[in-house]
Amino acid sequence: MIVLGIETSCDETSAAVVKNGRRIFSNIIASQTELHAPFGGVVPELAARRHIEAIGYIVDQALAQAGITLGDVDAYAAANGPGLVGALLVGVNYAKGLAFAQKKPIVGVHHIEGHVCANLLDTEKGEGTSECDLSKATERTERLSPPFLSLVVSGGHTVLLDVRDYDTYNVLGGTKDDAAGEAFDKVARVLGLPFPGGPEVDKLAREGNPSAIRFPRARVGAYEFSFSGLKTAVMQYIIKNKDYNAADVAASFQQAVVDVLAENAVKAARDKGYGDIALAGGVACNRALRAEMEKACEENGLRLWMPPPILCTDNAAMIAARGYYRLLSKPAGDGWDLDVFPERMTDTRGTV
């Protein structure tokens, strides 16, 4: 089954062609970073307008790079939430238009479930695989399959998911306040680093000492997280210590985030009796998090899965992958009344 995936939930316009939920034929990503940088954050109205300008071209590129035409597409999958409503509407309506014209099914995809499914994509380069940089993935010959535990760390979410099967993503717990990515972006801002801040903190932290400052680790429950106190502690430290070492602050802050993430993920996997942890979301690009998760999983006899960085941040290949499994269980897809939703996963599903 060839699925054309579309992702427009935030500030990346992306389209991808994926076969059988595994093989990436193309994964085109147009980032709007430059558009939003002067504002220090994503401006929803500007994001939606730029998606409208870009979507047609990006879909055409995805088809061209995959070497197929619309007639070869078996089904369409579009991220329909959570995210910015105006931005989501662009991708969902464009996908609806294509599906309607081609008389093919369309499914809406939960963006966070999409992030998890980035771990199901093949990452070795093969025939028909695009130029998209798939190096630095977990190198494995076997494939991940449910049940497994997933830690999703993105700009809006920090959740532990019990992935029972390809269609069941139960929330074990999430953040009580800020998401991990949000904390990275805010700390970057107080350190005077450019937007988007997460990768900048990651870069700066490489020159710093992670044990230089002992920032607090909030332990609010086995499967829950809280990063707002840590963010405040960083701000107070900067105010009190005028000649602070920015690299040490970045490294120490990052270590405080990463420690709690790894600790809770390992605990959840052990409690569930799972042998696999799948890391996902933009913050999964973070070098310290990847290293800490590797260490923690090795110590506890767990297998760690993490996509290459290009599949951790927002992309349409992960949406197509998740869409494939929705289509297997619902071949007719969703109705033409398919809508978008902005709410966080933890607000809509509760915890189990």
CB of 134 to ligand KG4, least distance (A): 17
**Binder of Zn ion out of 314, 317, 323, 327 (CB under 5 A):** 314
Nearer to ligand KG4 (CB atom), residue 125 or residue 344 = 344
User: Would you count residue 286 as binding ligand KG4 (CB under 6 A)?
Assistant: yes
Which one, of 59, 118, 138, lies nearest residue 321 by Cα? 118
- The answer to whether residues 215 and 252 touch, using CB atoms and an 8 Å cutoff, is yes
> Element (H or E) spanning 77, and its range?
strand 75-81
Nearer to ligand KG4 (CB atom), residue 122 or residue 202 = 202
Question: How far is the CA of 255 from the CAs of 206, 249, 252, 281, in angstroms?
Answer: 11, 10, 5, 18
Residue 98 CA to residue 272 CA, distance in Å, equals: 41
**Binder of ligand KG4 out of 162, 202, 224, 248 (CB under 6 A):** 202
Q: Out of ligand KG4, Zn ion, none, which partner does residue 80 contact, by CB within 5 to 8 A per kind?
A: none
**Contact region with ligand KG4 (CB under 6 A), list: 239-247, 258-266, 275-283, 331-339:** 275-283
User: Would you count residue 185 as binding ligand KG4 (CB under 6 A)?
Assistant: yes
Residues 6+ apart with CB under 8 A from 256: 215, 216, 217, 230
Residue 7 CA to residue 202 CA, distance in Å, equals: 25
Is 215 strand, coil or helix? coil
User: Would you count residue 283 as binding ligand KG4 (CB under 6 A)?
Assistant: yes
CB of 180 to ligand KG4, least distance (A): 7
**Binder of ligand KG4 out of 21, 108, 282, 333 (CB under 6 A):** 282
User: Would you count residue 94 as binding ligand KG4 (CB under 6 A)?
Assistant: no
Which one, of 158, 154, 118, 153, lies nearest residue 138 by Cα? 118
Question: β-strands 75-81, 12-19: how paired?
Answer: unpaired
For the chain, the maximum distance between any two Cα atoms, rounded to a whole number of angstroms, is 64
Q: Out of Zn ion, ligand KG4, none, which partner does residue 181 contact, by CB within 5 to 8 A per kind?
A: ligand KG4
**Binder of ligand KG4 out of 174, 198, 210, 333 (CB under 6 A):** 198
Question: Two tokens at 233?
Answer: 């502690």
**Contact region with ligand KG4 (CB under 6 A), list: 123-131, 133-141, 196-204, 300-308:** 196-204
Residues that bind ligand KG4 (CB under 6 A): 10, 154-156, 181, 184-185, 196-199, 202, 281-283, 285-286, 313-314
Q: What does the binding site for Zn ion look like in residue numbers (CB under 5 A)?
A: 154, 314
